[in-house]
Chains A and B, each alone.
Chain A
């Protein structure tokens, strides 16, 4: 029934080759190349020649105030956005699962941001955040809160980015959580009901543990996604990282160094640092999950 091994392997490779070629060209090769570039003081990306091999770039990046700011902003963004958006998504998914009225309408509504381009959403948010005409200030005004210069006040640029980040990531998380909840056997809930389990206990003792593999998966995905935040900044601020760079993120720093400052080796070094940060945290998360994910 089985053909000789080399033949089947070759066949598999052939089928995989389109994907492999694309991944190799656009992911694997650039990855190694940028690590290589990051060690040169000067590097010509067209001729592939460089001078001054060493760790100088890393020293420069790590002592650059703008990179430290980017690191700080990205950390705050990640720490705030990931848990809040996950909690909101989970609650929304549970509510949607309870088959409330107007379900179909909501189904369309919550899925919209997922299929809409982030830049377009960013433009919409520019209107929402607009200090004079924006909806957000109008709503806050009802509660007696003074006009906030969301996009122009350096104090509020990161909060604005965070609000946008939470919102833009919700749809995907809700979809995954909802699918997860609907995959839980209904009989667990019937059994819980007969045993007089309160709604809260049903959620914490049954839904959450049974959803834990999915919560963890979403956790890692959104954690990595948050560390790589870039499009949100562009969507909200166009071609500057907020007033006085206050919405600078690591990936924006990388982009800015590459195109803006035309310093590919510095950009490469910064991206390698980001890669290491993500690697370390993902590793830690996987370690934790072995202990915490319930089954």
Chain B
């Protein structure tokens, strides 16, 4: 699969990478809510400053990320021209929040955090849900890889000469589905061979630091300011 950094976790040793996933999810909610409230230059600048600081602290490869966001820039211009500054600024904020969160939070932390939040809710099989999230993230790149391989193999046999789109979809979808199911089957065998059980070791979190709470407090402060100016 093509190595894309955009919306991918990039391992670094920073305070944002080490941050407790439970508090980070809290920050995500607060920042997303703030972005939906933001209207006007001042509230936009408050959130933009906070997120920019976050991006610098996170040590994410900003230049590479900017290059990969070129396509989204076109979309932003269209949104700006058709819907004005408010929508475009909110879209920029949402994109920055997503990049920051996905770049500094491993899928395991996301999975463990969701499992932790679901644990007190009765009748919800939190371990099963967490495993399903995990397996989805395992299978998506596999399906994507298979798709690329199959399209290349079909191109090599001049599929482009066949103009009927329904036939081309049929030739792609059915083999892809059958291959994905076979791989899923193998994965189930591999999990069974290693005694998969829902009664398993519970995920633990590293101790929460004062800095983690401080980051959450900063996000809350930004929310208050944005709400005030809105």
Q: Do A and B bind each other?
A: no
B residues whose Cβ falls under 8 Å from a Cβ of A: none
